[in-house]
Chains A and B, each alone.
Chain A
């Protein structure tokens, strides 16, 4: 077990070819990878280019392939000046809203699912399996299916145009509960018993043993759920009316008018760039943890 640390360390450079691997196959593999990156990255690059030109340049095709000189102007106008088509709300407000919603959903989902998984795996109580199946079958009821009753409840509670209204209906997660359940089931019974003999009650066991062991799982789940929350469309569209409570995805949609001439395309492009930035940052900074959460079993 201890020496697997050595074994999994990646070999560096081309001096360690796999058996049967030739230099040609390595170059081919790289060519295919690079092609894939170009296909994925080019639209993003083009969006960035468009976000640095004036509206007039964008509307007069063809669009240049190189960034223009209006980067600071466009970005500061969108971020702080306010966009006309969404009632003059600056994009910074939208970013703030979306950040709160994405964090709220990700953290809320993790907290609720880890606690329910803890209850289901480590405690014996009446109707335990009933509750487990109840959680399990909600997998079949995504937001879209229960959207009308949920909307009605939110209206009755006066939660339209609030962060609570945006976050709470999306917070329960059967998937995350199942994920934690599966992880908890792999924790050896002896470890639980050792903790009991060591005088750790349910709360201490959770805090001192279970949470630290779930770190990587939590991190991986956080990345997935943050992006899920960030990219929410249907629910925020319904539950927000005021422009200053929109999430960035909804605002982006509102910015685009059917009449091409009304749309401030340079600001739409800026908003698009800003909308994809936070998820990218989350993935980049949490990548190490994310990968460990998917592959590592630290037991």
Chain B
């Protein structure tokens, strides 16, 4: 229903702290855009600027083609889901959902129709007469969602909405949010620090760091071609293995790598699942083949993680099923050349 267009948005707090240092993102209509990054990267500030809860220091924010810099949150026609739900504790679930509509002067029967319909979608119908404190965490989360949906806004804003739920519920709600968002077709901005949430939810993924956009695009593209070592280590769990190189062909401790590095390569990266282990002599490979010592094994059922030391640096290898390796074993970590990522000395991707 609306395109959200951020142009060179900056946030400077009184006292000179620059929380957001010039961010431009165009979020297409009906898309779910996830802002992900470590704490303090400016993602929440950016969301709050879209919401109108923070003033925009420089640049412009447009919703549905209209610049909203000077407009308050009420008139922006957005709805927000907060981290701690922010339900009105003294109001019943029904009134929590109806409050925003009442403030907009919606007719009573229209309010009732919309609240009942939303409650049905979210399976809240039997809880409408309860108060928030009588609800479980997951139910409160649904009510917070309902309060946003019932208003039928142009944009949904989610501020780490699942971070207070337990792992199982978080997984369920994640799927549900994605489904709902797709059904309703409302442009959404979703802030999280959880890379798994970011990967699974995003139509457009924005990785932020230090108030700037590190990389923006399709989540799988970002996963497969991280633009910098920061993105490489932030997206994916366990993170990408990064090994520092000297002269482009040797690890820091002098171990030679067989693969040919592009000019200027300072770091070599490969995903834990793109590597494999081989015990004993290995036929010549044209990727890499690093002698490594197993330091720890983490079997998690469907797969196992091998924590190894190679060339004086730590690497993780994911092998499917159980692993026969034991701590102390010497083995070779091999990876194919097309699975290798190269970064220059400033951390930027090469090739």
Name A's B-contacting residues (CB within 8 A). Answer: 1-2, 5, 188, 190-191, 193-201, 204, 208-209, 212-213, 215, 298-299
Is A208 a contact partner of B51 (Cβ separation < 8 A)?
Answer: no
CB neighbours of A213 from chain B (8 A):
89-90
What is the chain B residue whose CB lies nearest that of A191?
A: B86
Are the C-beta atoms of B86 and A193 separated by less than 8 Å? yes
Q: Which residues of A contact B78 (CB under 8 A)?
A: 197
| B80 pairs with A298, CB closer than 8 A | no
- B82 interface residue per 8 A CB criterion: yes
- The reply on B266 being an interface residue by CB < 8 A is no
Question: Given A2-B135, A2-B136, A193-B53, A199 and B104 touching (CB < 8 A)?
Answer: yes
Partner among B73, B85, B133 whose Cβ is within 8 Å of the Cβ of A196: B73
Q: Are A208 and B99 in contact (CB under 8 A)?
A: yes
Report B184 CB to chain A, min CB distance, Å: 17
In the complex with contacts A1-B133, A2-B134, A299-B89, A198-B99 CB distance below 8 A:
yes
Given contacts A2-B134, A2-B136, A212-B90, contact A196 B74 (CB under 8 A): yes
Contact present for A190 and B86 (CB under 8 Å): yes
**Do the beta carbons of A197 and B90 come within 8 Å of each other?**
no
Given contacts A2-B135, A193-B82, contact A200 B89 (CB under 8 A): no
Cα–Cα distance between A108 and B277 once the two chains are bound (Å): 79
CA distance A197 to B53 in the complex (A): 8
Q: List 20 A-B contacts (CB under 8 A).
A: A1-B133, A2-B134, A188-B86, A190-B86, A191-B86, A191-B88, A193-B53, A193-B73, A193-B80, A193-B82, A194-B82, A194-B87, A197-B74, A198-B99, A198-B100, A199-B100, A199-B103, A200-B103, A201-B74, A298-B89
Q: Indicate if B83 sits at the interface (CB-CB under 8 A).
A: yes
6 closest cross-chain pairs (CB), A and B: A198-B100, A199-B103, A190-B86, A194-B86, A199-B74, A212-B90
Distance in Å: Cβ of A214 to nearest Cβ of chain B: 10
Is residue B24 within 8 Å, beta carbon to beta carbon, of the partner chain? no
CA–CA, A208 and B100, complex, Å? 12
Since A188-B84, A196-B53, A209-B88 are in contact, a sample of 16 more A-B pairs with Cβ atoms closer than 8 Å, ordered by chain A residue number, is A1-B133, A2-B133, A2-B135, A5-B134, A190-B82, A193-B73, A194-B82, A194-B147, A197-B74, A198-B103, A199-B100, A200-B99, A201-B74, A212-B90, A298-B90, A298-B133
Which residues of A are found within 8 Å of B73, using beta-carbon distances?
Answer: 193, 196-197
Alpha-carbon separation in the docked complex, A201 to B80 (Å): 17
* Interface, chain B (partner A; CB < 8 A): 51, 53, 72-74, 78-80, 82-91, 99-100, 103-104, 133-136, 147
Tell me whether B51 and A197 are in contact (CB under 8 A).
yes
A298 to B, closest residue via Cβ: B89
Chain A residues whose CB sits within 8 angstroms of the CB of B88 once the complex forms: 191, 194-195, 208-209
| A196 CB contacts on chain B under 8 angstroms | 53, 72-74
Nearest Cβ distance between residue A184 and chain B, in whole angstroms?
14
Q: Which residues of A have CB within 8 Å of B83? A: 190
The answer for the CA separation of A212 and B87 in the assembled complex, in Å, is 14
Q: Which residues of B contact A193 (CB under 8 A)?
A: 51, 53, 73, 80, 82, 86
A192 to B133, CA, bound (A): 18
From A188, A197, A209, A213, name the one whose CB has the most chain B CB atoms within 10 angstroms: A197
Closest to B83 in A: A190
Task: Name the contact of B100 in the complex, choosing from A188, A197, A212 (C-beta under 8 A).
Answer: A197
Bound: A215/B86 CA distance, A: 19
Query: Which residue from chain A places its CB closest to the CB of B53 in the assembled complex?
Result: A193
Q: How far is the CB of B166 from chain A (nearest CB, A)?
A: 15
- Residue of B72, B86, B100 most packed against chain A (CB within 10 A): B86
Q: Which residue of B lies closest to A198 (CB)?
A: B100
The answer on a CB contact under 8 Å between A204 and B74 is no
Chain B residues in 8 Å Cβ range of A201: 74
| A292 vs chain B, min Cβ distance (A) | 13
Tell me the smallest distance from the CB of A256 to a CB of chain B, in Å.
49
In the complex, what's the smallest C-beta–C-beta distance from A194 to chain B, in angstroms?
Answer: 4
Chain B hits for A198, CB < 8 A: 74, 99-100, 103, 147
Q: Which residues of B contact A191 (CB under 8 A)?
A: 86, 88
